[in-house]
Chain A
Amino acid sequence: MKFVLNYIRKEEWSPYVAGVLLGIVGIAAVWLSDSLLGASGAFENIAGMIGKAVAPAAFDNMYFNFIMPPGITWGVVLLIGIFFGGMIGAATSGTLLWGKKGAANSDAQWKRIFGPQTWKRWVLAFVGAIILEYAAGIAGGCTSGLAISGGMLLAPAAFLFIMGMFASGILTALIIYRKNY
């Protein structure tokens, strides 16, 4: 028991142990509520809800009416859970930076590559997140919703997505890091 508690307090688990935990969560999601884990769809549900309220005409299209219906869906609640789960994870290992100085830009490697300015982190996160969400919309899911959830059902889509993701990810990293790659 003490060993388990000490392991929970550890900041970084073996990726294999954490992976087993996620695998069990993935099974539970299908078994208990017949749903697949995923994060990017929930953002579209929320965006659709805001869009329908602000500009109903612009959001009255195929995509938001049928493919991604707006509203508080299973995925939105899951997303709230993910947020708090991440916080609990950080809190148990004493690395929670919520409200602390420099929390928005705390990664040493990021600072070394892009510089220490926090605004840069915000801008790049914003631009990058638009790219991520847009791509997830095209592919039909993100890392969790398509690559992991689709992969565990052996969907070909998931493996095509993983291939594309790594090909361009490696290329982008190569361009950003150049000599330091």
Chain B
Amino acid sequence: MTNFVLSLVLGVFFGFSLNKAGLTKYNKIVNVFRFTDMAVLKFMMTALVVSMSGLYALRGLGLITFPNVPATYIVGNLVGGLIFGVGMALTGY
């Protein structure tokens, strides 16, 4: 139960940050593919750098263990990404 409360709170902050970064707007998502507005990349890469360094530091201190790392199957990941991009550019989600 506490786990669900936690995920709800985390979700609220997740949605909040997405909205404030403008990723809930069609034009933001599409314009990154047109190279006219790089907000999506800036947002994604900042999040990556912060969480990456935070997680590896915490693991180094022995405070956390990593959950299951998403499996790598080269063709699946790549083909999935290729189809995903089409949908992303069409809808702007």
Using a CB–CB distance below 8 Å, which chain A residues touch chain B?
10, 12-13, 15-37, 74-75, 77-90, 93, 107-110, 124-125, 127-132, 134-158, 160-173, 176-177, 181
Contacts and interface: CB of A to CB of B under 8 A. Distances in A.
A80 B89 CA distance: 24
Measured as residues with beta carbon below 8 angstroms from the partner, the interface class of chain B is: 35 or more
A157 B70 contact: yes
B87 A167 contact: no
A173 B16 contact: no
Nearest to A130: B87
A80 to B, nearest CB: 6
A88 B67 contact: no
The secondary structure that dominates the B interface is helix
The secondary structure that dominates the A interface is helix
A155 B69 contact: yes
A173 B48 contact: no
A151 B48 contact: yes
B66 A153 contact: yes
A78 B43 contact: no
Nearest to A32: B6
B19 A15 contact: no
A81 B9 CA distance: 6
Given A24-B50, A27-B51, A163-B78, A109 B27 contact: yes
A168 B81 contact: yes
